[in-house]
Amino acid sequence: QVQLVESGGGLVQAGGSLKVSCVASLRSFSSYAMAWFRQAPEKEREFVAAITGSGTLSRYADSVKGRFTIFSDNAKNTVLLQMNSLKAEDTAVYFCALGQLSTVLNERRRKTPTEYDVWGQGTQVTVSS
């Protein structure tokens, strides 16, 4: 079975940067969609960013555009999220997810957690204000 493992979370001051990573136990994820979601206490799981396995297409939530970048490292079977200019409201558990490639192309589908087939355990990101 496919497994996703996130890492890189931690504590950072507002305005700082952090990079979280997700390693997939696949030979290749080029034929899939990969995404990052986040969930703060007592809030719904929120879409952050998604990318096609090939890296040719990416999409972002409005709240992170211009600050976050999603990209893949195919040699390491890893998808990464570079987070810059962090704000206190970015504090959440960050999850990576794997789904069908076509998910990225549809706004409704890519922001819907149930559209994804495999989830990681999450990594905590805390931004101090």
pLDDT tens column, 59-117: 999 999 999 999 999 888 899 999 999 999 999 999 999 999 999 999 999 999 999 99
Residue 97 pairs in a beta bridge with 35, 119
So what's the pLDDT on residue 27? 80
pLDDT, tens digit, for every residue of 17-74? 999 999 999 888 888 999 999 999 999 999 999 999 888 899 999 999 999 999 999 8
C-alpha span between 28 and 26 (Å, rounded): 5
Q: Are 72 and 53 in contact (CB under 8 A)?
A: yes
DSSP string, 40-75: -TTS--EEEEEEETTSS-EEE-TTTTTTEEEEEEGG
